[in-house]
Every structure is written in C-alpha cells, then in structure tokens.
C-alpha cells in the first residue's frame, strides 16, 4: 500500500514502457500489459494496471557443464589451463549462449489505484517487483510517493478479529477462523467468532496468536475464506446477485 500524491500523475504515459518479451540475449524485461483489453483500465475513481516481468534463468548446473567443456577445448588448443580472467570470460560467453535457448518465466502483478483517497495498492510482497513498479510510475507517470505501508493479510485479519469495526464496509467474519499459536494451529468453527476465548488467544501477552485463515461474508451475499497469503478460496454464493 502506497500513500501518494496523484494530482500530477498521467497514466497514459505508461505507454512509454509497455511490456515486450525478452530478446534472444536478454535475461529480464518488464513493463505494463493490458488489463481487460486496456493499458489503463478505469472504473469510476478506480484504476487497474498490470505490470509484467519476464525472466530467463539459466540453471547453474548447465553453466557448469558448458564451462567445463569450454575449458577443455581451451586446454586442448593452447596446451595450458585458462587463467582466472579468461575463465570468467568463457563463463559469461556460455551464459549468453544458454540464455538464448532458455525458456522465459512470466509473472503478472496487479496494481490498483484509488484516485479518491490517494492510495496505490500493489499485489506483491516482492521488494524488487515493487521497486520496478514504483520507479516506472515515478519516471513515466509522475507518481509522488508519500508513504509506503506494508501490512500482511494475517495482520489485517488479526486486527479485524480484535476489532470488528475495522472490517472494510460490507464485509464481516463468518463462522470459522484458524489461528497460529506459536508452533500450534487452532481452529474455531461453528460458533461466535467474537467469543472471548478467541480474543484471549489474540491478546495473549506472552504468545499472541495470529489469524491464518478466516471465513468472511460480503453483504450476506457471498462467503469465502481469506488466508495468510492473501488467497481467496471456497467462494460460495449465499443469495441471488
């Protein structure tokens, strides 16, 4: 979560860094990809963006085998082993060659911008990815970050259980919660989640529990589970939408 000054931000300029796949000898590329068919998807005061990173990683074992072959060829031709500098050059040459044949791995990260309250939410806990996104928004769109707030889903859920009024509007706890109490796991199901026993676990001074999985309902129409990684599972409609 970023608190930012969005008044001067021009998201259309993100077109200057649209995503392109890795070239033959590139190990990584990154840029902005379409969201629902548009580079900048707007709905009311909300904007959705997709940042894509593609990497081509060469296994260390493959580099080691290729380098050993090159060193052998050098010795057979020159009659002596290559020095440290030459061996480094041979290794870099092999990495370049192997990268041309490596399979790329592509990852998409969602970015949600609320222009009404100056919030930018990045769906990633990876600092390198976050750095790429913030740098791109700053360089191309003029984003000015005021504050970076990193709060885990488990911390949010724990706070919600301690104070139900902290739930986002329309959401509330259902009838099941999983707690991590040190190395132990505790499940509370089928009862009132505001029970004092649960609060006792969460407020324990010596070993406070953390919520790792929580059943949630939205406007009494949909129920689902949210886990400590931020994954939504077991989505179930409760009424006709």
DSSP code, position 112:
E
Calpha distance 115→6 (Å, rounded): 7
| Beta pairing partners, 75 | none
Are the C-beta atoms of residues 215 and 174 closer than 8 Å to each other? yes
* Nearest one of 28, 89, 88, 90 to 58, comparing CA atoms: 28
pTM of the predicted structure, to 2 decimals: 0.56
**Interior CA angle at 37 toward 102 and 112, to 5°?**
85
pLDDT of amino acid 241: 54
pLDDT in tens, the chain (241 residues): 667 777 778 898 999 999 999 887 788 899 999 999 999 999 988 999 999 999 887 778 888 888 898 899 988 998 999 898 988 988 888 887 777 777 788 999 999 998 888 888 888 877 788 889 988 988 988 887 766 666 778 888 888 888 888 888 888 888 888 888 888 888 888 766 766 677 788 877 677 888 899 999 988 888 999 998 888 888 888 866 5
Q: Please state, in angstroms and rounded to a whole number, the distance separating the CA atoms of residues 185 and 129.
A: 32
Element (H, E) at 213: strand 210-218
Beta bridge partners of 232: 226
Q: Which helix H or strand E contains 133, and what residues bound it?
A: helix 127-141
CA–CA gap between residue 140 and residue 40 (Å, rounded): 13
Angstrom CA distances, 232 to 39, 179, 199, stand at 25, 17, 24
Q: H or E stretch including 197? A: helix 196-202
Q: What's the pLDDT at 41?
A: 94
Question: How far apart are the C-alpha atoms of 158 and 211, rounded to whole Å?
Answer: 5
Given this model, what pLDDT does residue 148 score?
65
């Amino acid at each position: 979560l970023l608190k930012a000054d969005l008044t001067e931000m021009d998201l259309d300029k993100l077109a200057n860094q649209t995503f392109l796949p890795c070239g033959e000898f590139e190990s990584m590329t990154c840029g902005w990809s379409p969201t629902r068919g548009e580079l900048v998807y707007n709905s009311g005061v909300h904007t959705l963006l997709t940042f894509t990173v593609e990497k081509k990683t060469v296994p260390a074992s493959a580099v080691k085998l290729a380098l050993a072959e090159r060193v052998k060829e050098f010795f057979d031709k020159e009659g002596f082993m290559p020095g440290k500098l030459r061996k480094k050059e041979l290794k870099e040459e092999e990495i370049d060659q192997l990268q041309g044949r490596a399979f790329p791995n592509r990852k998409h990260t969602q970015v949600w911008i609320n222009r009404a309250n100056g919030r930018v939410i990045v769906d990633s806990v990876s600092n390198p990815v976050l750095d790429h996104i913030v740098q791109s928004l700053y360089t191309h769109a003029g984003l000015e970050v005021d504050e970076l707030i990193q709060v885990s889903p488990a911390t949010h859920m724990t706070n919600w259980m301690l104070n139900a009024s902290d739930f986002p509007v329309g959401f509330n706890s259902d009838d099941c919660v999983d707690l991590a109490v040190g190395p132990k796991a505790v499940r509370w199901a089928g009862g009132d989640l505001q029970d004092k026993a649960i609060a006792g676990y969460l407020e324990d001074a010596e070993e406070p529990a953390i919520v790792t999985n929580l059943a949630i309902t939205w406007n009494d129409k949909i129920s689902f589970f949210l886990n400590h990684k931020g994954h939504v599972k077991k989505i179930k409609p409760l009424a006709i939408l």
